[in-house]
Amino acid sequence: MNVQFKKWSILWAMVLMAGTVAFAQDPAATPADPKPTTEVGQRKENQQDGIAQGVKSGQLTAGETANLETKEAAINGETRADRAANGGKLTAAEKATVNKQQNQLSKQIYADKHNANTAHYGNNPVGQRRENQQDRIAQGIKSGQLTAGETAKLENQQKGINQQVSADRKANGGKLTAGEKAQINKEQNHASKNIYNKKHNAKTQPGTKK
């Protein structure tokens, strides 16, 4: 009787141990809570998605994008300053101000995407290179690898190159000389390195905390 009781005690202990190990290995037993997304942070993400789509489609020119991202960067800077002054949070009045500013920016994004200005790339190596750069910038905006400030700088660089191409074509009956093409390619190589560096540095579009 004593021996039988010991056997049942050992068996029961083994069952309990197996159950404990199984619970510890089951990821569903301790689900991770998703990170909360604030209204301010979600609004910011929506704006950037809208800009990225406009860059990708050609509805936004480099100059328009640079202007929009400069304004977005200013809103982001103001939001960071407000949070720093209030222990990481925004007051109700500050949230209302940010929302008003984002409403104004949203209207401008819509207007710029639906005006007569579009990015015409052209079916040529220069136009294709320009389109590739814009696609890479759009991807960086969408993924959050590029901050609004970084995007503004990259788009200002593209705006400068585009203006140079336009001026060169105007001076040469709509065409570029071999020397001008080589110069534009050199400038786009430099811009390409800038895009890569900014997409792979420590700066990313930060998630907004409550």
* Tens digit of each residue's pLDDT, the chain (210 residues): 555 545 445 544 454 444 443 333 333 333 333 443 578 889 999 999 999 999 999 999 999 999 999 999 999 999 999 999 999 999 999 999 999 999 999 999 999 999 999 998 888 999 999 999 999 999 999 999 999 999 999 999 999 999 999 999 999 999 999 999 999 999 999 999 999 999 999 998 865 444
pLDDT given for residue 123 in this prediction: 87
The 8-class DSSP code of residue 190 comes to H
Contact between 65 and 54 under an 8 Å Cβ cutoff? The reply is yes
- CA 29/CA 189 separation, integer angstroms: 52
Listed in sequence order, the DSSP H helices in the chain are 2-25, 39-57, 62-85, 92-113, 125-143, 148-171, 178-199
Contact between 204 and 141 under an 8 Å Cβ cutoff? The reply is no
pLDDT given for residue 28 in this prediction: 34
Residues in contact with 72: Cβ distance below 8 Å, sequence separation at least 6, in sequence order: 44, 47, 48, 51, 105, 148
- CA 3/CA 81 separation, integer angstroms: 74
pLDDT given for residue 6 in this prediction: 53
pLDDT given for residue 38 in this prediction: 79
Cβ atoms within 10 A of the Cβ of 177, count?
A: 11
pTM for the full predicted model: 0.78
What does the chain come to in residues? 210
pLDDT given for residue 205 in this prediction: 81
